[in-house]
């Protein structure tokens, strides 16, 4: 049987200044998805899920992010009578703020598209991946699935119309991401947010977002660092992450350009101007967590420009 195996990378959403509209991909961790043709049935079936530890993910296609993304893609292509089985190999923590559900959805959509001869572009696949992601947190947004799918730093002008744009990545930019051994669900992280934003706060946030994008286009690292301040969401969500202020302070003291919450948390990211510095910053962040009695995992990576990678095609 024809088989496709892909790797879907973790992502950092919001990037401090762009709640629900900015995101970037990193090299590791990520999920592996396997899709293969099976003439014994029609539609999409999930045949295996590994790497979940004590968590239970639904095998039901319509309740699984990967299953929904693959099934909607199949329906769009008018190939609902085709039988496809999926294996989902989770290689990243749940509830980490690193886009775990988005990785599964994006990986499944790319794998199925490749399995069927690549009839759609990555951009055209995006809609189906967002539908899959929506199963996980009930919100239609692309700040994780877009960078996972196509790589780089992405700006979503409109989630409703999925008007997505690539932003330039300054040379040498690296990120340290520290995932503490606690779990925060996206639904819970959204629940703490107020739907009222003071005008002065909105103005500061808009200025930070505009200057961040300007810094990317002008390769102005100093401006980028001055821009990475979340005036709107971080002050509300940091209460969910014990020790956040100490960890952020450790990152900035070691020279990070900026530091904030990755997605819904609890992972914390720090952007740096070199890989060497990112490693040092990440170790400092881990040390701060250790002082609080919290174990953590460190991932150091450049901005991943590839997105979902096809590892193998057989048959």
Set 133, 134, 234, 294: catalytic member: 133
214 is catalytic: no
Give the Cα separation of 55 and 201 in Å (integer): 38
Domain ranges of the chain: 3-167, 174-302
φ and ψ at residue 15, rounded to 5 degrees: 50, 40
Percent of the chain with pLDDT over 70: 100
The DSSP-derived string for 235-288 is HHHGGGSTTHHHHHHHHHHTT-SEEEE-TTSS-EEEEESSHHHHHHHHHHHHHH
Give the Cα separation of 38 and 36 in Å (integer): 6
pLDDT, one tens digit per residue, over 171-195 is: 999 999 999 998 887 777 888 899 8
65 is catalytic: no
The model's pTM: 0.95
pLDDT, one tens digit per residue, over 186-235 is: 777 888 899 899 999 999 999 999 999 999 999 999 999 999 999 999 99
Set 65, 82, 129, 186: catalytic member: 186
φ and ψ at residue 8, rounded to 5 degrees: -115, 120
- The annotated binding site is made up of 93-103
What fold does the segment set 3-167 form as a domain?
Ribosomal Protein S5; domain 2 (3.30.230)
Homologous superfamily (CATH) for 174-302: GHMP kinase, C-terminal domain (3.30.70.890)
Question: Higher-confidence residue: 52 or 40?
Answer: 40
| Element holding 188 (H helix, E strand) | helix 186-191
């Amino acid at each position: 049987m024809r088989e496709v195996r892909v790797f879907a990378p973790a992502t950092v959403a919001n990037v401090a200044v762009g709640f629900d509209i900015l995101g970037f991909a990193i090299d590791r961790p990520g999920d592996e998805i396997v899709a293969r043709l099976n003439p014994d049935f029609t539609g999409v079936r999930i045949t295996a899920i590994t790497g979940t530890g004590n968590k239970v993910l639904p095998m039901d296609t319509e309740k699984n992010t990967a299953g929904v993304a693959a099934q909607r893609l199949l329906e769009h292509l008018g190939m609902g009578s085709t039988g496809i089985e999926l294996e989902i190999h989770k290689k990243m923590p749940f509830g980490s703020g690193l886009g775990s559900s988005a990785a599964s959805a994006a990986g499944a959509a790319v794998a199925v598209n490749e399995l069927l001869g690549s009839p759609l572009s990555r951009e055209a696949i995006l809609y189906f991946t967002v539908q899959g992601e929506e199963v996980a947190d009930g919100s239609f947004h692309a700040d994780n699935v877009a960078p996972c799918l196509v790589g780089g730093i992405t700006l979503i002008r409109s989630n409703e119309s999925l008007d997505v744009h690539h932003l330039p990545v300054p040379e040498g930019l690296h990120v340290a991401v520290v995932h503490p051994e606690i779990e925060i669900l996206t639904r819970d992280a959204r629940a703490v947010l107020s739907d009222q934003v003071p005008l002065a706060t909105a103005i500061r946030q808009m200025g930070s977002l505009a200057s961040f994008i300007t810094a990317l286009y002008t390769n102005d690292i100093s401006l980028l660092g001055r821009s990475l301040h979340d005036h709107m969401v971080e002050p509300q969500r940091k209460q969910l992450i014990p020790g956040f202020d100490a960890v952020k302070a450790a990152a900035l003291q070691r020279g990070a350009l900026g530091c904030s919450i990755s997605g819904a948390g609890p992972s914390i990211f720090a952007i740096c101007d070199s890989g060497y510095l990112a490693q040092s910053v990440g170790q400092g962040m881990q040390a701060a967590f250790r002082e609080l009695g919290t174990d953590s995992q460190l991932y150091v990576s450049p901005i991943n420009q590839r997105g979902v990678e096809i590892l193998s095609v057989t048959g």
